[in-house]
Structure 1
Amino acid sequence: MRNIIKHIAVLTATLTLISCGDDQNAQQAGQQRTMPFPVFEVPTQTVTGYSSYPTSIEGVISSEVRAKVSGYITDVLVDEGEKVKKGQILFKLETESLNQEADAAKANVNAAQVEVDKLKPLVEKDIISEVQLETAKAKLQQAKSNYNSISANIGYANIKSPVNGYVGSIRFRRGVLISPSDPQPLTTVADISEVYAYFSLNEDEYLDFINTAEGKTREEKIKNMPPVKLVMANGKTYAEEGKIEAINSQVNKSTGSVSFRAIFPNPNRILTNGNSGEIKIPQTFEDAVVVPQRSTYEQQGQTYVYKVVETDSNTVANSTQIKITTPVKNLYVIESGIEKGDKVIAKGIGKLKNGTPIKPQEVPFDSIAKPMEQVFR
């Protein structure tokens, strides 16, 4: 009996030692799982973001050059890209047949004039009625009108520039037969000292944009709109800033969009008709809560950060959903979910789960947010 009691006591002591060892091992394992993570304090900053929209460029004045009469081109007197003045002859058409018609019409005028001059003294002497003279005068006027029409057509054979500007693409050359009904113009002449940039916003974007613009009336809002930038087709930003000066008052039913027009100075003629690019409209956020995009993650279409939370026993990383206003370069402007002064895991979030114990190691916000270009207003 004593042996049995002794064995029970030894077994109990052994189990107690094993249990204590397991507790110590669990504590050590827990300490090993508490890994260090860099954290930063959420700041507020004034940042400017840009919304981009495809645009097409046209000269402030862009006039099509078309023929007013039919004929073969005999001379092309300008080249593409050449600067011309209003009234300068650009093309000449063959006028031989018109000249012959003009000579015949001039002869008819002379003959009609002779007839009128012959009848005048006869009417004065009452030899013939005045009706005959008036008929002769009407024929003279008709002959003159026909001659003037042919002379005008001869003048139209010298096709002139309608405006001051620069010649565009020349689509027809010497020897080509052209007419007023041709679907394509001979060329265009554009004044590109300033250019228009046309772009569109969808209806939702338009309403948000116009509602946030300063001013009571539509005209005041347009006047107070900030300068816009132009990114050219080569990806470089155009040196001159533009100004939105007109907004279409109607929504395009087929596209659901509203068209805008901005104007840009073009002193060096870098921009020309047909250029494309992107308009960038700025939006400034004053004292906005921001976090680096690299410190966030997405799950089922929602965006989250790991916020640092102090508990009674340790410090944990809590998964926290955030609502984003807009991205600005490599930052997110935050609408809700975190506030200034909150501490957030900076990086390494792929190793975390909700409620994971951590050892926070504070790092400067800028060290996580770089590279970042901030625009202050």
Structure 2
Amino acid sequence: MKTRTHTPLMSLSALALIVSFTLLQSCTSGSANPGPQNQPPALPVMAVPISPVTVYQEFSSSLEGKVNVEIRPQVDGYLEKIYVDEGAYVTAGQPLFKINGQLYNETLNNAKANVLAAQANVQKAQVDLDRLQPLVDNAVISDVQLKTAKANYNAATAALAQARAMAGNAQINVGYTLIKAPVSGYIGSIPFKTGSLVGRGEAQPLTVLSQVNTMYAYFSMSEPDFIAFKNKYAGETIEQKLKNVPSVELLLADNTVYPQQGTIELVQGQFDKTMGAITFRAAFPNPNKVLRSGNTGKIRLPQLFNQVLVVPQEATFEIQDKVFVFTVDNNNKVASKPISLSGKNSYYYFVNKGLSSGEKIVLSGTGNLKEGAQIQPQWVSADSVLKANPI
């Protein structure tokens, strides 16, 4: 007995509906315009401008006052008084610390007494000499006694000089018990307290006094940067080249530019073998005492280009450490081009090779572009771009 397989009526009806819907969609698609996915993408395009530009090389730096003096005791004793507080500004000659001077005062008094005794001995020797001289002149006595008196007088005079030297040394030590500021500047940390025993053998200074009217900014250049630096400026020697280096700027830790410009004064004589770098020193005036020793920042070394091509960084992309842009030809087709940079800032690359003035580039939206793709250029003026983000 054969078994029949019946197709349910509901299934046939559903199939008919699906076919009808497919045909309808097909007809609709055939009669409509091509979808936007088939159109070239509309992208902003700009002609590359040329402009005078100042670019900066930046080097990390640390700041120190022109004079940083370690204040150390020159005599031993207990710290009796501290006249200043940490961070205070002091003038040259102002008292800073007082070491107990009782021992040194007594030594001075003893030395002064020795001076008086030595003076008395000199006077006595002089009296003996004056008494014997006429006797020898009149041949009353031999000159042996006179020679002895002269020797005694010379010995007494030498003893007086020695006593005076000892008194002077004692006086100096008494003076050392009062420690004064050698220069004007700011007091650093004071690790000792009143009553601390201090002395010449102490490894730690009482404080550090920084004179900050002029600040030194120390920074380092790698060997390639140093070679480029030497080739950039005129002069036979480094000293001559430094005279032709323009003023430098100091970028502070909060990314603001210090209002006073500085001058590169010297280059150290040799490279640091461990770092492969050489140290420079730039001097900055600090009239308002804003900068302090220990500050950090960046030295900005300027370089002026009279005419250079300006390309927004958003118009570029990188492949294996090379920077590229998409140029646009007369048929609105794009081609990738590598560019060579002479510098950059926060918004722009400055190009010395790879492009020409007025050449058209895609300004943004290059992430999905492919070589030879066609686009719809949306023209953007270079002036509006440079106005939005000034160089």
Letter aligned with residue 342 of structure 1: E
Alignment partner, residue 21 of structure 1: none
* Matched residue type, 2:251: V
Structure 1 pair 59/128, CA: closer, same or farther in 2 (3 Å)?
A: same
TM-score, normalised via structure 2 length: 0.79
Q: Can you list the C-alpha shifts for 1:10-46, whole angstroms capped at 9, x where unaligned?
A: xxxxxxxxxxxxxx99x96999243333211112122
Q: How far apart, in 2, do the equivalents of 1:33 and 1:322 lie?
A: 29
Distance 2:355 2:217 in 1: 40
Alignment of 1:269-348 (within 5 A): 269-310=289-330, 314-348=331-365
1:152 aligns with 2:172: yes
Structure 1 vs Structure 2 CA RMSD: 2.8
What is the alpha-carbon distance in structure 1 between the residues aligned to residue 41 and residue 115 of structure 2?
A: 108
- 1:84: Cα distance to partner? 3.1
Aligned equivalents of 2:293, 2:340: Cα separation in 1: 42
What is the aligned partner in structure 1 of residue 270 from structure 2? 250
Q: Would the aligned equivalents of 2:239 and 2:266 in 1 still touch at CA under 8 Å?
A: no
Letter in 2 for 1:86: A
Query: Following TM superposition, by how much is the alpha carbon of 1:353 offset from its aligned partner in structure 2, in angstroms?
Result: 0.8
Q: Which of the numbers 91, 103, 109 marks the counterpart of 1:103?
A: 109
Deviation at 1:74, TM superposition (A): 0.9
The answer (yes or no) to whether the contact 1:33–1:357 under 8 Å persists in 2 is: no
Amino acid at match of 1:43: P
- Counterparts of 1:337 and 1:234 in 2: how far apart (Å)? 36
| Structure 1 residue ranges without an equivalent (≥5) | 1-23
SS of the residue 2:205 aligns to: coil
Alpha-carbon distance between aligned partners in 2 of 1:148 and 1:207, rounded to the nearest angstrom: 57
In the alignment, the residues of structure 2 paired with residue 231 and residue 31 of structure 1 have an alpha-carbon distance, to the nearest angstrom, of 49
Cα deviation, 1:236-267, whole Å, max 9, x if unaligned, reads 22222222232334333332222222222212
Secondary structure of 1:129's counterpart equals helix
Q: Is the 8 A contact 2:56 2:343 kept in 1?
A: no
Partner SS, residue 143 of structure 1 = helix
What is the distance in 1 between the residues matched to 2:290 and 2:171?
42
Give the superposition deviation at 1:65: 2.0
Residue of structure 1 in register with 2:57 after alignment = 51
Give the Cα separation in 2 of the matches to 1:358 and 1:87.
77
Contact 1:230-1:277 within 8 A present in 2 as well: yes
Find 1:85's aligned residue among 59, 80, 91.
91
Cα deviation, residue 285, structure 1: 2.1
Aligned CA distance change for structure 1 residues 140 and 34 (closer, same or farther; 3 Å): closer
- Please state how far the C-alpha of 1:337 moved relative to its aligned partner: 1.8
Name 1:221's counterpart in structure 2: 241
Question: Looking at CA atoms only, which structure, 1 or 2, has the larger radius of gyration?
Answer: 2
Matched residue, 2:214: 194
Q: 2:112 aligned with 1:71, yes or no?
A: no
- Counterpart residue type for residue 335 of structure 1: N
In 2, the alpha carbon distance for the partners of 1:263 and 1:361 equals 50
Q: Is the 8 A contact 2:311 2:349 kept in 1?
A: yes
Deviation at 1:85, TM superposition (A): 3.2
- Of residues 159, 166, 191 in structure 2, which corresponds to 1:171? 191
CA distance in 2 between partners of 1:367 and 1:149 (Å): 78
Q: Is contact 1:41-1:343 (8 Å) kept?
A: yes
1:35 and 2:41 aligned: yes
Per the alignment, residue 5 of structure 1 pairs with none
1:115 correspondence with 2:132: no
Shift of 1:367: 4.7
Distance in 2 between the 1:319 and 1:332 partners?
A: 16
Superposed CA deviations along residues 129-185 of structure 1, whole A, max 9, x for unmatched, are 233443343333333322221121111111122123333333323211111222232
2:21 alignment partner in structure 1? none
**Does the residue aligned with 2:390 lie in a helix, a strand or coil?**
coil
Q: Count residues in correspondence.
A: 347
3-state secondary structure, aligned to 1:101: helix
CA apart distance, 1:233: 2.2
Q: CA 1:137 to 1:368, structure 2 compared with 1: closer, same or farther past 3 Å?
A: closer
Flag as ranges the 4+ runs of structure 1 deviating above 4 A: 27-31, 214-217, 366-371
